[in-house]
Every structure is written in C-alpha cells, then in structure tokens.
A and B are shown apart, each in its own frame.
Chain A
Amino acid sequence: MNSQPQRELGEVLLKAENVNLSFGGVKALNDVNFDIRKGEIRAIIGPNGAGKSSMINVINGFYHPQAGSITFKGVKRTSMKPHQAARQGIARTFQNIALFKGMSTLDNIMTGRLLKIRSGLLSQAIYWGKYQREEVEHREYVERIIDFLEIQSIRKTPVGRLPYGLQKRVELGRALAAQPDLLLLDEPMAGMNLEEKEDMSRFVIDTNDTFGTTIALIEHDIGVVMDLSDRVLVLDYGRQLADGLPDEVRNNQEVIDAYLGVSHD
C-alpha cells in the first residue's frame, strides 16, 4: 500500500556503537551497531526475547550498557537517566500502557507538556501572569494533537474507561505532546485488531509526515513493519542479524531462518 519511492535520509540522529548489555549471565544485547537518521521510520524487529525492548530501554537511558556507547545529536554518552533522555528530546510509549488511569485524556496528554513549562512553581500555584499565558499555549498544542489523533469525543473521559486501542492512541498523544526529536514506540500495535492496526499505522505515518518526527518502533507484525518503515534492524538472541531496507531484510536468509525456524542437524 505504501510503496513510496525510497526517501532521502537525513543526517544521523542517533548512533549505537558496539552496545553490550547483559543481565547476569544472559546477554541481552551483543555488539549491536546501528544508527537512526533524521526523519526516518526505523523498525526494530526480532523473535521473542531478541533484545528489542532492551535496545529501546538503552536508548532512553533506562538500562545502561556494560560496553559501547550511544551518540545522540552528536553527544556521546555511556550512561544517562530517563529524565535526561526526555529533556534531550526522546519520548516513548510502552508495551504495557502506562497512563494515569484516573485522569482524563486531556490531562494525560497535558502531562506530556511538563518539560516544556518554563514558569515557576509560584506562578503555577496561583495560576497568574506568565503561567496562565503559558498554559493557554500548551493547551492549544494539546488540542492540536487531540485533533490529529481524532480523539475529540473522549477529551474529558477518564482514560481507565477507554478501550485498549484508544488508550494506545492517548499514549501516543502524550509522547507527541513532548515534541520529541526521537519517538520510541514499543509495540504500538500489540493486541490490536486489524482495523485498529490500520488506524495506528496511519497515525504513525502521519506523525512522521506532519510533525517530521523521527520514529523508532518495535513491532511483531512483519507485514506492518515492511509497509511502514524506511529501514529495518533485525535482532535475534541479542545479536544483530541484519540491517537494511525492508526488501533486503525480507530476502535475507538468516532472517527467514530466525523467524521460521531451521533444523539444526
């Protein structure tokens, strides 16, 4: 469906070099090398336990690799905390939805603006002066996201009452509210039916298109990945199996073996 001609890729936004991560004796990531370029949709795929979520967690500073480095926007770092990653412009969604269930859609997305608020505590507490103006601006940005994700009808609904597919959408909204340079999506389509998947794919493409956001996503559904992404990284048992254009990856024998299984005799 989306067989657009291959796009020009921008400069390198994030570079992972020889990343190694292990939990005790288990090697979750083994010498992984790849980059994410500005403006692209980058997929990370692999069978269960391949190290995909670990890779995302390394990027946003939740895990610290034992060896290797991450260079983001030209700055090299070995260890970093998640809130620092957020400050640098990395936002994410979670495999298991992590929203504030009792708060409305609007308020949940507003929390994504937290890091953009510049006025002080006092001004916020008395809702006066600078903060008042600021909140109007933030609200406007959030409304733009609500409009974009077509969730006007649930603006004031507590998130806990929403069906799964919509909660995923709200979570994407919250990540977008941070106006990230790099958006990490951890299985955005897991557990969705076909229609919800199609909707979500549309939103991922439109996000990339409208906001110019660079996106790295983990996904199980190979069909979706091949349609959506510019480049695909394949992991298997922490090892980097392949890295390239969707078509190259699709025809890579090692990838086929990893997915379909191969007899070891």
Chain B
Amino acid sequence: MAELDTFPKLLIDNARRIAERPAMREKDLGIWQTWSWSQVRDEVFALANGLAALGVQRGDKIAIVGDNRPRLYWSMAAVQCLGAIPVPTYQDSVAEEMTYVMEHAEVRVAIVENQEQVDKMIDIGERYPGIEHVVFDEPRGLRDYDRSALHDFEQVQEMGREYAREHPDFLQREIDAGQGSDVAIFLYTSGTTGKPKGVVLSHDNMLLTAHSSVELEGLSENDIVLAYLPMAWVGDHLFSYAQSLVAGFCVCCPESTETVQQNLREIGPTYYFAPPRVFEGLLTSVMIRMQDAAPFKQKLFHYFMDVAKRVGVRKLEGETLSTGDKLLYALGDLLVYGPLKDTLGMGRVRLAYTAGEAIGPEIFDFYRSLGINMKQIYGQTEAAVFVTIQPNGEVRADTVGRAAPGVELKINDDGEVMYRSPGVFLSYYKNDEATRKTKTEDGWVYTGDAGFFDADGHLKIIDRAKDVGKFASGKLFAPKYIENKLKFFPHIIESVTFGDGRDTCTAFINIDLGAVGNWAERNNIAYASYQELAAHPQVYAMVKESIEQVNRDLAGDEMLAHSQITRFLILHKELDADDGELTRTRKVRRPFISERYGELIDALYDGRDHCHIETEVSFEDGRKGKISGDLKIVDVETYAPLRAAG
C-alpha cells in the first residue's frame, strides 16, 4: 500500500494492523458500546458510499454539526474518503451564525446530530438554498418531517452498501486518489472580532503535526481519551481525530454534555485536555467539599496536600527524594491522592494539557503535585494546534514551553511571536487579504500575541500584541500579563493597569466581594457595603502585600522588571458589563475605563494620596444612580531587578 498520507489511508491501515483494538466508545442505554477499528472502517465505508450515491463529489463541502458522537466522527472520515471536505460547525451557534458559515463554505450536504440541528438547517435553507441533503443521526421527533431531502444516517449507509455492490472498486479508487497535500478540513475560527474565518488545513498539516506530537509524548494504541470539546475546534480535531488515527487510541464520547464528569470517571482517560477554567472549577469544587468533610478527614487532607506540595512536583520532575519523603508520598497516594484523582476522573491520566489562557500557579501545582503530568501548550487553529509544548522535566506555570517538534519560532521587531511549521495552514478560505496579512510569503505566521523567550529559552506569552504598549522610556508594557498575576490572588477579582506612555506602572484593583467578605467575617471586620469594605485599611494592607509579591516576581524577570506597580487604588464599585466597563465575556474595556476614570488615573500619577470620584451606575432594572467616594491612593514597594541566575 502507498504512503499513509491521508486520514482514510490511515484508517484502512489501522483496521488491518490493529483490527480488533477499540477505536471508539459511546454509552448507549447506560452501557458502554465499543467499535473496533475494523468495525469503524466498515461504518465509514458504508457512509462514504452512501454519500456518493447521494451525489457527493470530490471537493464538495459537507457540514458536520452536533455534539461529539461516533457517527459524526465517522462522517468526517467518510467525507474525506471521497475527497470532499468536512466543515465541522459549532453546534450551539444559532441558525443565523451558522448561515454565514454554510454560505461562505458553499456547503452542499449537512450531516447533523438531531432534530434541533435539522430545524436549524431548515431555517438556514430559507436564506441559503444550497444545502441539497441533510443526513441525521438521531431520528427522534423527525417522523412527520418532509423526507425528500432528509435522510436517516442508517438509510444512507444502507444505500451505500447497495452502491458498493454495484460499484465495488469505486471507494478504493477514490481513497487512492487522495494525497497528503489535499485539503483535509475547513475549521472556522469563532472570531472575537468580525466574521469567522475558514482556516483551510491539508492532510499533511494535520497528520505531520499529529505524528510529531504522538512521538514526542509517546502516545500509543493503549491510550484512551474522552471527546467532549466541540468538534469544530481544532484541538478536538487533533486530539480526538488526528492523533487517534495516528496512534490508534480509543476515543470515547460522553452520553451527554451534563454527564461528562461522570463519564470521565467511568472511562478513566489516560490523556486529557481541558482549558484552565475547567481545572480551576474542579479544584474549587474539591475545596468546597473538603470544607464540609469531618474534621479528621480535613486534617488528613491538608496534611497530605502539604506533603504533595513539597514532594509531588519534584517527584514528577524525576528528582531524587529522601526515603522519608518517598514513604510519606506513597502513604498520601494511598489515602488521599489516589481517591481524589479517581473522583476527578484523573486516576489514570498520564498526560494532561491545558491552554487558551494563563493558569494560576497554585492550580497548576495542585494537579502536578498529585502526580498528574499537566503541561501547558500554546497553539492556534492556523498551526494545526501545536506551536509550543512544555517538554517533560521543564514544566512551569508561567511559560508555554519550547517550540514543538518541527516548529520554528521567532519574535519580530514589534515583539510579536511568529512561527513556521509543517502545520501551517494553507489559507483562509476565500479571503486572500486576511491570508496575506497573517502568513508571509516564506511561510511565517503572525500569531497576534506578544511574547519573549526567557533565560532558558522558554516562550512566555504576555498579551495580545495590539494591547501591548510602551513606557515613556520605550520599554515594553504588557498590561494583561501583570493583571493576570494580580488576578491569581483570590481576593482580587479584576484589575486594570496603566503605563502606556508613562514613567511607571499603576493599577486599579477590584476586590472579590465573596472572598474578601468571607475573610472579613472570619476576622470580625464589620462592613455595610462593598464600598466600605473596599476602603477598609486592612483590605488595603492585604492588597498592598499581594502587589508587592507581584513586584518581587516581576523583579526576577529581566524583560519586565521595569513594569513593577508603584501606586494603586481600590475601586469603590465592581467593574460591570452593564456599565460598559467590561465586555459580556468579562474582558476589560480599556479605552472606556481610561475615559471614565481619567481623574483617578491623573491622581495615580500626580502624587495625591486620595481622590474624590462620582460615578454613574446602572442598576439591574435599568435605572441609573450615582455613587461617590473618596478613594485612597497607596504607594507600593518596588524591588531592584535581579539578574537572572545562570
């Protein structure tokens, strides 16, 4: 057989090489059902022939819409068998958003999960008549629908088996005709600004990236993952599709989105990806449940978590430990870590990735100290995921690691991270202008993120490039990097830093009413309102201490030592999306805040020790009110920059 340069060829190879190994699992009627690689191949082939019978041809675009279901993954492979292009679409987008993608990608056939999605396709049909056929997986509720253009998945497979009897060589010919350089998939980026862009990736892009990462991390057919992130997202496409085909590991689909946590526990994946907020949420729920536990259990938990903090990370890094520590850790594993990991569904996790945003060092270390090899990666749809990976033994909370295998990295003159790799996308579909803006002639891609290499050669991402400014001295000012460091403290919910065009960095702080209120209660501090609590001298003292810790941290960083915070104030109200200070996704709207609180910013820089402010606020019922207050401004200790050791 020829080179395994496309997904369908890999599938055929797996179905021969590891025919009886599990390829896919799904829980049906309360019982996990398994499909082996050879069964998956048969299912995929039946569908591919069926789609051919419906008239799908090379180059056609086929939308795939739904939660993670085996049949939808098979659909991707079936579409690729024919040389057509799967276009997975975010299943929770409303018909209107989906119309844009369907129209832009010129979708001819849609393979969807259920009635909800069929209804959307019918809606879309009113504005974009190009969808000729809709194939559905779950027939429920569809009995009375007009079936002329609507097909049951199984019927299409049946048609396919018939078609295969009449055209026995057809499918193999189509698969052989495919090449690695062919377009494999369109992945639409969700697009925080403007319309979504269709990222065109080839089989080579996905497969070379998958091959090198599988090799680096030693993934094999013995691994197992739970596919629960949207199929339209490049990460899921790599972890649950490309890597699975390359390494031959089993992909499990959860029963429903609500059962992910339970299913995780049942399956016990060995390889796991989650964004930081999922890890954060799990940790919080563990801590809350521990607070309700019996005193003895609490003591046990805290004692062994301290042991883990001291020993666990070092053990994971392969350092030598004293015999006492080894024994203690083993005991802790038996009594606490093991059961805890099992509850979290991470009992067998060998490798866990997180990415997408900064993760708090405490959260990161919590999981690592339990013995879970959690790493950060940095990636993009345009790179077929991997740009950097943290190598084993060099994992840190504040970097994203070294260049992934085959990736070249550089920082351009504006401080923006650029990369070149085999995974670099072909183009944005029907958008040459955007392609030219993102990808240079010789294949380098602008990430849009600002970053730098630390002393060990690890990449640190500091901010979106467009948000990075410069101090009056011309040195780099990365507001979000500093704000994230501040937000890792539980009593700081939001912060806004200033420094662009100034001499020093200053900050607005928003306290977290929940955390600080709790703290006040425990310390017998009485307060009547948010404003009063925020202005309390002890709260100021606590925040000051946190900021000084951040400053110490920054002092250790050659690139950022100059951006230590010199002065701060605690705002008298919470920044609120209703007042336009945050976006609906809780991102700070800097220009608006600069304008609204201009006087406070002036006060931060002209040496005053307090400032009066009157602000208009909107209440939840839409009425407006005013709150005013006299805010204290406090100076903070800064530290001499340390020379980075070694």
Chain A residues with CB under 8 Å of chain B are: 4, 139-140, 143-144, 146-148, 150, 152-153, 155, 202, 205-206, 209-210
A206 touches B141 (CB 8 A): yes
A152's partner among B141, B143, B144, B259 (CB-CB below 8 A) is: B259
Q: Beyond A4-B144, A209-B141, is A153–B29 a contact (Cβ under 8 Å)?
A: no
Return chain B residues, CB-CB under 8 Å to A140.
29
Is B382 an interface residue, CB under 8 A from the partner?
no
CB < 8 Å: which of A146, A148, A210 contacts B30? A146
In B109-144, the 8 Å CB interface with A consists of: 140-141, 143-144
B30→A155 contact, CB < 8 A: yes
Most buried by B among A140, A144, A147, A205: A147
B144 touches A153 (CB 8 A): no
Provide the residues of chain B in CB contact with A150, threshold 8 Å: 256
Q: Judging by beta carbons under 8 Å apart, are A152 and B255 in contact? A: yes
CA distance A147 to B30 in the complex (A): 9
What does the 1/0 interface line of B11-40 toward A look like (CB < 8 Å)? 000000000000000011111000000000
Return the CB mask of B40-80 against A: 1 if under 8 Å, else 0. Answer: 00000000000000000000000000000000000000000
Docked pose: A202 CA to B140 CA in angstroms: 11
Complexed CA–CA distance, A4 and B30 (Å) = 34
Task: With CB as the reference atom, state the residue of chain A lying closest to B142.
Answer: A209
CA distance A206 to B259 in the complex (A): 23
Query: What band does the interface of chain B fall in when counting residues whose beta carbon is under 8 Å from A?
Result: 10 to 19
In the complex, which of the residues B28, B29, B143, B256 contacts A209, with contact meaning CB atoms closer than 8 Å? Answer: B143
Q: Does the CB pair A143–B30 fall under 8 Å?
A: yes
Residue-wise, chain B 259-271 has the 8 Å CB interface mask toward A (1 for contact) of 1001000000000
Enumerate chain B residues within 8 angstroms of A210, measured Cβ to Cβ.
Answer: 140
A153-B261 Cα distance, complex, nearest whole Å: 9
Compute how far the CA of A139 lies from the CA of B31 in the bound complex, rounded to whole angstroms: 11
CB distance from B115 to the nearest CB of A (A): 9
In the complex the two chains form, what is the Cα distance from A209 to B140 in whole Å? 9
**Chain B residue with minimal CB distance to A7?**
B144
Q: A144 to B29, alpha carbons, bound, how many Å?
A: 6
Instruction: Note all chain A residues with C-beta closer than 8 A to B28.
Output: 147
Contact of B140 with A153 in the complex, beta carbons under 8 Å: no
Main secondary structure of the interface of A (DSSP, over half): helix
> Cβ of A143 and Cβ of B29 under 8 Å apart?
yes
Is there a chain A Cβ closer than 8 Å to B319's Cβ? no
Q: How far is the CA of A202 from the CA of B258 in the complex (A)?
A: 20
Are B140 and A152 in touch, CB under 8 angstroms? no
A1 to B28 Cα, complex, angstroms: 31
Of all A-B residue pairs in the complex, the 5 with the closest CB atoms, nearest first, are: A153-B258, A143-B29, A143-B30, A152-B255, A153-B259
Q: Which of B134-170 contact A (CB under 8 A)?
A: 140-141, 143-144
Chain A residues with CB below 8 A from B29, complex form: 140, 143-144, 146-147
12 CB < 8 A contacts A-B: A144-B29, A146-B29, A147-B29, A152-B27, A152-B30, A153-B256, A153-B258, A155-B30, A202-B141, A206-B141, A209-B141, A209-B144
Which residues from A are CB-within-8-Å of B141?
202, 205-206, 209
Task: Report how far A47 CA is from B630 CA in the complex, Å.
Answer: 60
Give every chain A residue within 8 A of B31 (Cβ-Cβ).
143
Given contacts A153-B256, A153-B258, A210-B140, 5 further A-B contacts (CB under 8 A): A143-B30, A152-B27, A152-B256, A209-B143, A209-B144
How many Å lie between the Cα of A147 and that of B597 in the bound state?
54
Report B-chain residues with C-beta under 8 Å of the C-beta of A205: 141
- Among residues of B, the one whose C-beta sits closest to the C-beta of A206 is B141
Interface centre among A139, A148, A153, A155 (most CB of B within 10 A): A153
Given the complex of chains A and B, what is the CA–CA distance between A237 and B344 in angstroms? 58
Complex: A265 Cα to B541 Cα, angstroms:
77
Within the complex, the shortest CB–CB distance from B343 to chain A, in Å, comes to 15
A212 CB → nearest B CB, Å = 11
* B25 → chain A closest CB, angstroms: 15
Q: Give the nearest-CB partner of B255 in chain A.
A: A152
Residues of chain A contacted by B255 (CB below 8 angstroms): 152-153
Query: Are A206 and B256 also in contact (CB < 8 A) when A140-B29, A155-B30 are?
Result: no
Q: A150-B256, A153-B256 are in contact. Are A206 and B140 (CB under 8 A)?
A: yes
Output the nearest chain B residue to A152 by Cβ-Cβ distance: B255
Contact flags (1/0) for B336-362 with A, using CB distance below 8 Å? 000000000000000000000000000
A152 to B31 alpha-carbon distance, docked (Å)? 11
B144 proximity list for chain A (CB < 8 A): 4, 209
Residues on B with C-beta less than 8 A from A143 are 29-31
| Residue ID in chain A nearest B260 by CB atoms | A153
Chain B 227-279 interface residues, beta-carbon cutoff 8 Å to A: 255-256, 258-259, 262
CA distance A146 to B256 in the complex (A): 12
B140 contact set on A, CB distance < 8 A: 148, 206, 210
A110 to chain B, nearest CB (A): 12
A101 CB to nearest B CB, Å: 21
Give the CA-CA distance A155 to B30 in the complex, in Å.
Answer: 9
What residues of A have a CB within 8 angstroms of the CB of B27 in the complex?
A: 152
Q: Which residues of chain B are within 8 angstroms of A146 by Cβ–Cβ distance?
A: 29-30
Can you name the residue of chain B whose Cβ is closest to the Cβ of A145? B29
CB-CB nearest in chain A for B31: A143
Distance between Cα atoms of A146 and B28 in the complex (Å): 11
Chain A minimum-CB-distance residue to B257: A153
Expressed in whole angstroms, the minimum distance between the Cβ of A170 and any Cβ of chain B is 15
Residue of A nearest to B30 (CB): A143
Min CB–CB distance A67 → chain B (angstroms): 42
A221 smallest CB distance to B (angstroms): 21
In the bound assembly, the distance between CA atoms of A82 and B369 in angstroms comes to 60
Q: How distant is B114 from chain A, measured CB to nearest CB, in Å? A: 11
- How many angstroms from the CA of A228 to the CA of B255 in the assembled complex? 29
CA distance A120 to B604 in the complex (A): 83
When C-beta atoms are compared, the residue in chain B nearest to A106 turns out to be: B30
A153 & B143 in contact (Cβ 8 Å cutoff): no
By beta carbon, the residue of chain B nearest A144 is B29
Distance of A143 from chain B, by nearest CB (Å): 4
Bound form: Cα–Cα A152–B259 in Å: 7
* Across-interface contacts of A152 in B (CB, < 8 A): 27, 30, 255-256, 258-259
CB distance from B200 to the nearest CB of A (A): 36
A144 → B minimal CB distance (Å): 6
Bound-state Cα–Cα, A152 to B28, Å: 10
CA of A144 to CA of B30, assembled, Å = 9
**Chain A residue contacts of B256, Cβ below 8 A:** 150, 152-153
> Is A153 a contact of B262 with CB atoms below 8 Å?
yes
Task: Kindly state the separation between the CA atoms of A143 and B255 in the bound complex, as whole angstroms.
Answer: 12
Nearest CB of B to A198, in Å: 12
What CA separation (Å) do A140 and B28 show in the bound complex?
10
CB-nearest residue of chain B to A210: B140
Q: How far is the CB of A92 from chain B (nearest CB, A)?
A: 24
CA distance A155 to B140 in the complex (A): 21
Distance, CA A153 to CA B141, complexed state (A):
21
Set of chain A residues within 8 Å of B30, measured between Cβ atoms: 139, 143, 146, 152, 155
The chain B residue with its CB closest to the CB of A202 is B141
Q: How far is the CA of A3 from the CA of B255 in the complex (A)?
A: 33
Which residues of chain B are near A209, meaning CB under 8 Å?
141, 143-144
